[in-house]
Structure 1
């Protein structure tokens, strides 16, 4: 049976907010969907190419305020990108990406047109931590560059990858950026204490970054790893520099996260550090 909704607000020719019996306000997106329509008009639910709810009133307000400042053709293009991202990731995206990525891309395109360059200090870490999101972000940037005819700075790939990761995992960008900053800090401590320059494209570096990320995630969730007392004694004896550095890293994590970090993490960090030192 066809669902008929009542339009609450026409945001532009392609986006309307309609009243749904169950979900209250629903955002409907489709080419020409709002053309010649006004508040109070009925609209079939299945005429929309994409529908989503913005349950958070603040996000809905941000979205409503954002749209008048974005060209409708660009908005339609961004909606196409969101569908592309969802298809490539094979997962339904959290709806907050409609606000966050639309806002980000609109300003990123404006910056590119004005030749304003923004660096991304966590680019290598983002690629190592979220390889699938990074590859999809690369494809998104290619599509954007083709659409506007202007090259994007490489750092934008990392920013877009973070938005994708946030939408797929339902983690806030604030937490993701905080953890990435912590990982970057830990890497600086490792380089300073071992007197070496880590190669960002090296497989051992990627393994270290992945492990640090998992250790932070485990600490955040309160999970632990299995303890190996015999292994601990061996590593402490054979690799004292890396073992002591691993403890230092654990303390930094605990202070930054304000959460306990499982002491068994020291063992695995020691192995990663020793591998890095040996290969250097």
Structure 2
């Protein structure tokens, strides 16, 4: 195994005998070697073999500025997630999650807090991924002595949800994208408004719609027995009810799905928020 680049004192980019580029980690492996040097097996602690060459290159660039312990933690989290979820996770997760963990701890040390306004939705809609995120926070506290807020578990869950989107469900992703766009158009036409796309308000609403459509297509819609609350919401927001009924009709016509009362309630609430804040 020959070293191509020294990324830091403990991480190098190397080439196997078959020409495959890999990330190799080992104590002082980058300190005592240089490009062209052969790696001794006794110096190797961990090897990362990524099938996608561009992903491997991106990870190599990231490790130039990121302490190796973050890649090690990411590897542990991904291995744990694969066991829990029993599904394929996109290799790019090694890059996105390593970078996120590094920046999250850096912000914490600088006393900078970025709230995840969708914490409740993530906990409710993606409980398994959120549970893995909480496990990740425990791992970070154990290894770095840093106690990150619960919002970071939701952020990690986002990365896991995105990493489950593969070429195999590309058609579903395209359908989701088109449905979200159509639902937004229904809302804008019903209220005869334009919703600015460069605001956090729009971003939150868009994320809710994406979650809603994903649950719809995966047949994982929310269902509870709190009919009193649903009736109360529908009485309180009659105009939003009319708008959501149009959305409901669109969904029934295009994908032949009937949305649950709970999903209608949450749509009514979110439509009200985006419309009222748009008019504010």
Q: TM-score scaled by structure 1?
A: 0.59
Deviations 1:230-276, CA, capped at 9 Å, x for gaps: xxxxxxxxx9x97983442564x89xxxxx941x11x24458548x9
**Secondary structure of the corresponding residue to residue 68 of structure 1:** coil
How many residues are treated as equivalent by the alignment? 214
**What secondary structure, in the 3-state scheme, does the structure 2 residue paired with 1:9 have?**
strand
The two structures, once aligned, show a CA RMSD in angstroms of: 4.3
Q: Which runs of 5+ in 1 are unaligned?
A: 190-208, 219-238, 255-259
Which residue of 11, 16, 19 corresponds with 1:20? 16
**Relative to 1, partners in 2 of residues 1:42 and 1:93: Cα closer, same or farther, differing over 3 Å?**
farther
- Corresponding residue SS for 1:116: coil
* Structure-2 separation of matches of 1:153 and 1:102: 18
How much does 1:159 deviate?
A: 0.9
- For residues 43 and 146 of structure 1, the distance between their equivalents in structure 2, rounded to whole angstroms, comes to 31
Alignment partners' CA distance in 1, 2:18 and 2:254: 43
1:51 to 45, 48, 53: 48
Alignment pair present for 1:120 and 2:116: yes
User: Equivalents in 1 of 2:41, 2:163: separation in Å?
Assistant: 24
Equivalent position SS for 2:113: coil
1:112, distance to aligned residue in structure 2 (A): 0.5
User: Which secondary structure does the structure 1 equivalent of 2:124 belong to?
Assistant: helix
Name structure 2 gaps, 5 residues minimum. 168-172, 188-209, 220-233, 269-280
> What does residue 78 of structure 2 align with?
85
1:66 lines up with 2:62 in the alignment: yes
Query: Given the two structures, how large is their TM-score scaled by the length of structure 2?
Result: 0.59
Distance 1:18 1:250 in 2: 57
Return the offset for 1:211: 6.5
Partner of residue 222, structure 2 = none
Per the TM alignment, residue 212 of structure 1 is displaced from its structure 2 partner at its CA by 4.0
Output one character per residue of 1:209-228: Cα deviation in whole Å (capped at 9) or x when no partner. 9764232569xxxxxxxxxx
1:10 Cα deviation after fit: 1.8
The corresponding residue for 1:152 is 148
